[in-house]
Amino acid sequence: MRDISDAADLMTTAREALLRDLLPALTGERRYAALMIANGMAIAAREHRLGTDAARNEAARLRNLLELVPHDDAAKRDDKSTGDLSTLRSDVSAAIRAGAFDADEHEVGHSLAHTAADWVAISNPKALRT
């Protein structure tokens, strides 16, 4: 337990105040706007708690996938093998489009589904199914 509210707690507490103190006084388009604001705050709070892990795990999974790609393609990546998440996404995307993963349907589908689920847990956990 900490003494001072962190970003996630501030976001959560501000959202609770919005829903408790302001929402009952709003109707129509303003009510809709308040609900959107509450949704944005909830996502931000969850991303503050879970986003770092989600990004790190996604990067690890993407690196693992690139290991599956034949050596020729891997050679071109040598200079950016320490690439950030955005580079990894871009490399895997290009390899998928080129058909380099066609033989690894199970591994790739499983890996990408895992990552997608991590991000759904942040953006809209209600959409997760077991």
Partner 1 sequence: MIKDETLSDAVDTAETNALARWLEGAMHAQDVRVLRYERLPGGAIQDNFLLDVDIRGGKWQGEHAFVLRTDAPTGVAASLTRAQEFAVLRVAHAAGVTAPKPLFLCRDTSVLGREFFIMTRLPGVAQGHRLTREPALVPDGDALARELGANLARIHAIRPPWRDALSRIATLATDGEHATDDESVTIAPPPANPALAAIAEYRGWLDKLDDAYPALEWGLRWCERHAPATYNIALIHRDYRTGNYLVDSGRLTGVLDWEFAGWGDPREDIGWLTARCWRFSGADREAGGIAAIEPLLQGYADAGGIPISRDDLDYWQVMAHLRWAIIALQQAQRHMGGGERSLELALTGRIVHELEYEVLQLITRSSR
19, 43, 55, 74: which one contacts partner 1 (CB under 8 A)?
Answer: 43
d(CA 44, CA 121): 12
- Taking the complex as a whole, the smallest distance from the CB of residue 92 to partner 1 amounts, in Å, to 4
16, 40, 56, 64: which one contacts partner 1 (CB under 8 A)?
Answer: 40
Instruction: List the x/- string, 81-110, binding to partner 1 by CB under 8 A.
Output: -----x--xx-xxx-xx-x-xx--x--xx-
Tell me if 29 contacts partner 1 by CB under 8 A. yes
Q: Which of helix, strand or coil describes residue 93?
A: helix
Distance of CA 38 to the CA centre of its chain: 19
Tell me if 60 contacts partner 1 by CB under 8 A. no
Given the structure tokens 């290991």, which residue do they identify? 67
Are 48 and 11 in contact, with CB atoms under 8 Å apart?
Answer: yes
Tell me if 42 contacts partner 1 by CB under 8 A. no
1, 21, 129, 130: which one contacts partner 1 (CB under 8 A)?
Answer: 129
- Give the amino acid at 56: R
5 vs 30 by CB, closer to partner 1: 30
CA nearest 64: which of 99, 98, 115? 115
Q: Is 99 left (phi over 0), alpha (psi -120 to 50) or beta?
A: left
**Across the chain, which distance is largest between two alpha carbons, in Å?**
63
Under the rule (CB under 8 A), what is the footprint of partner 1? 28-29, 33, 36-37, 39-40, 43, 62, 86, 89-90, 92-94, 96-97, 99, 101-102, 105, 108-109, 112-113, 115-117, 119-120, 122-124, 127-129
